Amino acid sequence: MNKKWLALALFTTPPAMADDLIQWWDMSITAIHGDNYDLAPSEKQTTFTFETAGAWRYGDWFAFQDLVYFNGDNAGKDSTTYGEISARFSAGKITGNNIELGPITDLSLALTLEEGEGPVKSFLYGLGMDINIPYFSYFNLNTYRREALSSDNISDGWQVTPAFRMDFPVGSSNIVFDGFFDWVFSTDDANYEKNFHFNPQLKYDLGAVILGEHKKNKLFIGIEYDYWKNKYGVKGIAQSTYSVLAKYHF
């Protein structure tokens, strides 16, 4: 079995709820379609994203695998893959002491592995923070040191990654605004430009409306915006595109 598919199979296998080892977990699949993508074999793309997230006794995790299909390929390549595995080890959970530093409610050792086709393999490590901000369901901020794992990857440097979610009740349903941005604000190689990638989604809980209250937080439809200044560290490439999406949580 291909390593990517093996990892994906592991992502979608429910973890064992031994004692309180696993506190909660979620798995979902998202279908996204859009155009105006830069530095790709075609402007139009269809992406299937498999995600898992959860919390356990010593921290939390998030992982995803993108299967990207190029629609209208003009470079002899019809698909690619990209994925990340992130884990954070919580100081509060490990020590059993509440962390309260103003709005900061926890500190963590944050680790991320980036993997895909091409010169993208990197290991990131740094400090994670959980921050309590009014009207946000959650707001996490990770500051990383980037280390390339292949000689053709020149993305070494420093990165800040906030992730967030906001919920807006609408009748018996809900609108969710969530996403992240990656800001590579310092790079070691002059040929790799500092870059900013903002990727929010606005989603409506359709399942709660058409399938009933028992299917709340299951089926979403919406739009995704993708803005990437100096995409892939290439100076002057500014991607700005909207996509439609459908997401289902198992």
DSSP string, 2-54: -HHHHHHHHHTSPPP--TTSEEEEEEEEEEEEE---SSSS-SEEEEEEEEEEE
Q: What's the one-letter identity of residue 180?
A: F
- Has residue 1 been placed in a domain? no
Q: What is the domain range of residue 130?
A: 27-249
Structure confidence at residue 6 (pLDDT): 45
- Has residue 5 been placed in a domain? no
Give me the phi and psi of 97, to 5 degrees please.
-115, 135
Q: What's the one-letter identity of residue 98?
A: N
Structure confidence at residue 74 (pLDDT): 62
User: Higher confidence at residue 75 or residue 27?
Assistant: 27
- Has residue 141 been placed in a domain? yes
Can you give the C-alpha Rg of the chain in angstroms? Answer: 19
Q: Are 197 and 182 in contact (CB under 8 A)?
A: yes
pTM of the model as a whole:
0.90
Q: Which of 60, 61, 62 is nearest to 93 (CA)?
A: 60
Structure confidence at residue 11 (pLDDT): 52
- Has residue 61 been placed in a domain? yes
| CATH classification of the domain holding 36 | 2.40.230.20
Q: With 90 as the cut, is the pLDDT of residue 109 above it?
A: yes
Q: Which of 108, 244, 126 is nearest to 182 (CA)?
A: 126
- Has residue 52 been placed in a domain? yes
- The model's pLDDT over 60-84, given as tens digits with 9 standing for 90+, comes to 999 999 999 998 766 677 899 999 9
- Has residue 22 been placed in a domain? no
- Has residue 10 been placed in a domain? no
Q: Can you tell me the mean pLDDT for 23-52?
A: 95
Domain count, the chain: 1
- Has residue 3 been placed in a domain? no
pLDDT above 90 as % of the chain: 82
